[in-house]
């Protein structure tokens, strides 16, 4: 490595006297090394055992080796590193212990008995990195341990236990080792030996390496990345490795790993650490949502005591935190838990499975949050003394909270009870924001999805508050007809009004039917509504593409997916619903009433309207409705795979 490439040596054991020639001999360092090694070889008289002082001489040799500009791992260096005790000396150039600070040397047992706060206080000690030579030696040691040649692999495989043990010593409070050097070596070993590293770090000693060494230093980017690499290894489909990963996840669940991460959000006085932990947790959830066996890591949410307590604790933290980045980071983690198992976005260019491994976990978390849906609503009210959002507009964090509200209400075990818990003030702010944020399609999308969900649940109390008390129909029509007003929500207004029209047509016994038919302004606007809507679906040119059907004229932000589509062999995450099939005739599917393609694309499967706002002008009704899967009732509508916003 630091010798000439053509030199071949059997031993690399030198005496202290010969080592001193490195500093004094003006000749080439390679020639000096040759003479020193030959002297040591003569002194050993061919014995297989190294001389008694070989450790001292090896210390000097390794120091010089690591200070070379470009050290290499050749056979002679391998033979030296494999000698008893030499790897310990080699790793000391990475651990960089400060022997003078004797008051900060907890043993592994002592470290395990400390609380997380005490560990963080020790880890917050400033490390001494003013010795450029020491940093250079550590860097070269890192490069040698991350090599990929046969010589590198021989050292790594033979000395795996020794290297890993010393590697974690870098994370001790009295070490001046470099975190980035640790991260690169650790991640290299995880990728090469995923099973062995999971065994050493997680399965042994109650995962002390993870909880006592890695987590207290997680404010360092290299450490958080190392934790994520460890938990997401292996990347291959090796059966043994996957089984080990599952066992590791089950062990971490027994040790309450996820619960400990979320509890760390509540730490006070360690803002930088908490921020980093939130980022790491968010990335972990995103990675686990695509990883096999990851559901075993999140079983804490199924616990009858720990699950509800963990969700309640997160919501209380959000309410306690000030508006800003800190609160938004917590909201993003909660949103990731809510959405960790949802179907993939249609924006994806690759077909993916509909349900991820955390799908059932996400459904359970949504149901847990639905019991606290009033707390989410109170956050909006508490942040705004008045109902208007002009004084304090909605933020991205508020949008994420609204999405959590929608997802939780969608999968609540008792949707009626959840809706009854929503305060009136929230509905007022919810409707006002639709008109005040007239250029924010992100909010319009959320409004449309929540409004459609409330219509589908068909509970009278929230419908009265949302539609009648807020004069929603009148405000929607006035906004749509006011051409002098610059607004981007007219398309959503058409969708909302058509949902109301079709809902009224579908069942003449509902409150929505009575509201629509008895509303004079809506009845007056109905012809214009039908004309504007029909203009969207009217065929202005013939469809000449032989390979497929005409795309739907309007999908909305979340077109419903039927069971027949989900169980179709041709369905995948990038499929869009089409108007008509290979054997359909386009003229049979025109129109905007129940039974038409337009109504079908909006989620209405009824054969024909039963009254209400039906008008014969320019309307072509269909005969039978589209077939649905026999596996589920026809009224059941799946949420689409369209991107949220």
Q: Which of 54, 84, 114 is the last residue of a domain?
A: 84
Flag whether 141 is in a domain.
no
Rank 109-113, 580-584, 629-633 by mean pLDDT and report only the highest: 109-113
**454 exposed, middle or buried (CB, 10 Å; 0-12, 13-18, 19+)?**
buried
Question: Residue 429 burial by CB count (10 A; 0-12/13-18/19+): exposed, middle or buried?
Answer: buried
Average pLDDT, integer, range 33-60: 56
Residue 177 inside a domain? The answer is: no
Using one digit for the tens of pLDDT, what is the confidence trace for 135-173? 999 999 999 999 999 999 999 999 999 999 999 999 998
Supply the mean pLDDT for the chain.
80
Domain range enclosing 39: 16-84
CA angle 27, 132, 172 (to 5 degrees): 125
> What integer pLDDT is reported at residue 471 of this predicted model?
95
- The CA-based dihedral angle spanning residues 67, 70, 73, 77, taken in that order and rounded to the nearest 10 degrees: -30
* Mean pLDDT across 490-513: 92
Q: Which of 75-84, 85-94, 601-610 has the highest mean pLDDT?
A: 85-94
Last residue of a domain, one of 41, 64, 84: 84
Close Cβ partners of 434 (under 8 Å, ≥ 6 residues apart):
443, 444, 447, 489
Measured between alpha carbons, how far is residue 514 from residues 276, 302, 464, 473 in Å?
54, 43, 11, 13
One domain for residues 421 and 478: no
SS3 128: coil
Alpha helices for 437-519 (secondary structure H): 441-457, 460-463, 472-481, 490-506, 511-517
**Contact at 8 Å (CB) between 279 and 285?**
no
Sign of CA dihedral 447, 450, 456, 458: negative
Do residues 166 and 91 make contact, with C-beta atoms less than 8 angstroms apart?
yes
Task: Using a pLDDT cut of 70, give the percent of the chain over it.
Answer: 73
Q: How confident is the model at residue 130 (pLDDT cuts 50, 70, 90)?
A: confident
Please check whether residue 332 lies inside any domain of the structure. yes
Q: How far apart are CA 229 and CA 198, in angstroms?
A: 11
Summarised one tens digit per residue, pLDDT across range 381-424 is: 887 766 555 667 788 999 999 999 999 999 999 999 999 999 99
Could you tell me which of 111, 186, 114 has the C-alpha nearest to residue 156? 186
* Beta-carbon count within 10 A of 428 CB: 18
Per-residue pLDDT reduced to its tens digit, 181-237? 999 999 999 999 999 999 999 999 899 999 999 999 999 999 999 999 999 887 677
| 334-372 pLDDT per residue, tens | 999 999 986 444 444 333 446 789 999 999 999 999 999
pLDDT digits (tens, 9 = 90+) for 526-535: 999 999 988 8
The pLDDT assigned to 604 comes to: 85
> Same structural domain for residues 423 and 509?
no
Q: Does a structural domain hold residue 362?
A: yes
Give residue 226's Cα distance to chain centre. 16
Are 412 and 475 contained in the same domain? no
Task: Tell me if 346 is assigned to some domain.
Answer: yes
Q: Are residues 418 and 531 in the same domain?
A: no
Residues 568 and 426 placed together within one structural domain of the fold:
no
Query: What is the spatial distance between Cα 185 and Cα 225, in angstroms, rounded to a whole number?
Result: 12
**Confidence label for 612 from pLDDT (cuts 50, 70 and 90):** very low
End-of-domain residue from the set 36, 67, 84: 84
The pLDDT tens digits for 50-66 are 555 666 777 888 999 99
* Listed residue (483, 393, 481, 467) closest to 427, CA to CA: 467
* Whether pLDDT at 433 is above 50: yes
Say whether both 410 and 525 belong to one domain.
Answer: no
**333 and 421 housed in the same domain:** yes
pTM listed for this prediction: 0.82
Q: What is the pLDDT of residues 237-282, one digit of tens each?
A: 788 888 999 999 999 999 999 999 999 999 999 999 999 999 999 9
Res 157: pLDDT: 95
422 shares its domain with 482: no
Q: Are both 379 and 501 inside the same structural domain?
A: no
The whole-number average pLDDT for the span 538-558 is 62
CB atoms within 10 A of CB 430: 24
Residues 292 and 432 placed together within one structural domain of the fold: yes
Q: 330 with 428, same domain? A: yes
pLDDT the model gives residue 22: 45
Q: What is the mean pLDDT of residues 627-638?
A: 37
Total domain count, the chain: 3
pLDDT at 560: 64
pLDDT value of residue 300:
95
Asked whether residue 476 is domain-assigned, the answer is: yes
Looking at the domain assignment, is residue 638 inside a domain?
A: yes
- Residue 225, domain member (yes or no): no
pLDDT reported for residue 214:
96
The reported pLDDT for the residue numbered 4 is: 38
Structure confidence at residue 541 (pLDDT)? 61
Q: Are residues 503 and 382 in the same domain?
A: no
């Amino acid at each position: 490595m630091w010798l000439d490439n053509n030199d071949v040596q059997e031993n690399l054991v030198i005496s202290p006297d010969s080592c001193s020639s490195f500093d004094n001999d003006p000749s080439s360092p390679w020639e000096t090394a040759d003479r020193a090694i030959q002297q040591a070889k003569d002194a050993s008289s061919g014995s297989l055992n190294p001389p008694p002082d070989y450790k001292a001489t090896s210390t000097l040799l390794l120091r010089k080796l690591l200070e070379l500009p470009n050290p290499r791992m050749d056979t002679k260096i391998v033979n030296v590193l494999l000698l008893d005790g030499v790897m310990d000396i080699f790793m000391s150039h990475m651990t960089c212990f400060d022997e003078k600070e004797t008051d900060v040397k907890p043993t592994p047992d002592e470290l395990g008995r400390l609380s997380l706060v005490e560990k963080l206080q020790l880890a917050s000690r400033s490390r001494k990195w003013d010795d450029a030579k020491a940093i250079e030696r550590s860097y070269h040691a890192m490069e040698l341990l991350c090599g990929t040649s046969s010589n590198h692999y021989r050292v790594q495989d033979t000395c795996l236990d020794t290297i890993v043990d010393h590697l974690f010593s870098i994370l001790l409070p009295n070490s001046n080792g470099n975190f980035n050097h640790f991260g690169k070596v650790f991640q290299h070993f995880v990728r090469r030996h995923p099973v062995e590293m999971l065994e050493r770090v997680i399965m042994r000693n109650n995962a002390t390496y993870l909880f006592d060494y890695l987590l207290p230093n997680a404010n360092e980017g290299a450490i958080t990345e190392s934790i994520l690499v460890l938990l997401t290894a292996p990347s291959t489909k090796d059966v043994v490795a996957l089984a080990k990963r599952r066992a590791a996840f089950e062990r971490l669940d027994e040790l309450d790993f996820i619960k400990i991460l979320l509890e760390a959000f509540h730490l006070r006085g360690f803002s930088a650490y908490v921020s980093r932990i939130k980022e790491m947790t968010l990335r972990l959830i995103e990675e686990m949502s695509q990883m096999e066996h990851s559901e075993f890591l999140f079983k804490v949410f199924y616990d009858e005591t720990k699950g509800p307590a963990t969700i309640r604790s997160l919501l209380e933290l959000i309410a306690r935190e000030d508006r800003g980045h800190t609160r938004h980071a917590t909201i993003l983690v909660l949103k990731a838990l809510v959405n960790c198992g949802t179907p993939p976005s249609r924006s994806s260019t690759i077909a993916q499975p509909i349900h991820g491994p955390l799908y059932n976990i996400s459904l359970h978390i949504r149901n847990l949050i639905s019991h606290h849906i009033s707390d989410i609503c109170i956050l909006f009210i508490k942040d705004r003394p008045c109902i208007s959002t002009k004084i304090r507009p909605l933020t991205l964090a508020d949008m994420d909270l609204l999405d959590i509200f929608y997802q939780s209400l969608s999968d609540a075990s008792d949707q009626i009870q959840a809706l009854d818990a929503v305060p009136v003030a929230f509905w007022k702010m919810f409707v006002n924001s639709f008109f005040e944020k007239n250029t924010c399609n992100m909010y319009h999308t959320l409004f449309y999805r929540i409004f459609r969900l409330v219509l589908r649940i068909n509970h009278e109390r929230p419908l009265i508050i949302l539609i009648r008390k807020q004069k929603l129909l009148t405000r929607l029509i006035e906004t749509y007809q006011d051409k002098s007003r610059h607004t981007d929500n007219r398309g959503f207004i058409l969708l909302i009004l058509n949902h109301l029209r079709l809902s009224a047509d579908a069942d003449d016994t509902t409150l929505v039917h009575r509201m629509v038919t008895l509303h004079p302004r809506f009845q007056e606007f109905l012809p214009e509504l039908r004309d504007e809507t029909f203009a969207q679906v009217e065929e202005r040119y013939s469809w000449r593409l032989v390979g497929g059907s005409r795309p739907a004229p309007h999908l909305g932000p979340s077109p419903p997916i039927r069971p027949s589509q989900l169980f179709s062999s041709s369905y995948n995450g990038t499929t869009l619903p089409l108007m008509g099939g290979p054997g359909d005739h386009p003229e049979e599917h025109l129109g905007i009433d129940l039974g038409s393609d337009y109504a079908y694309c909006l989620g209405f499967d009824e054969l024909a309207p039963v009254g209400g706002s039906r008008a014969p002008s320019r309307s072509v009704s269909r005969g039978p409705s589209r077939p649905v899967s026999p596996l589920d009732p026809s009224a059941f509508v799946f949420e689409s795979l369209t991107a949220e916003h």
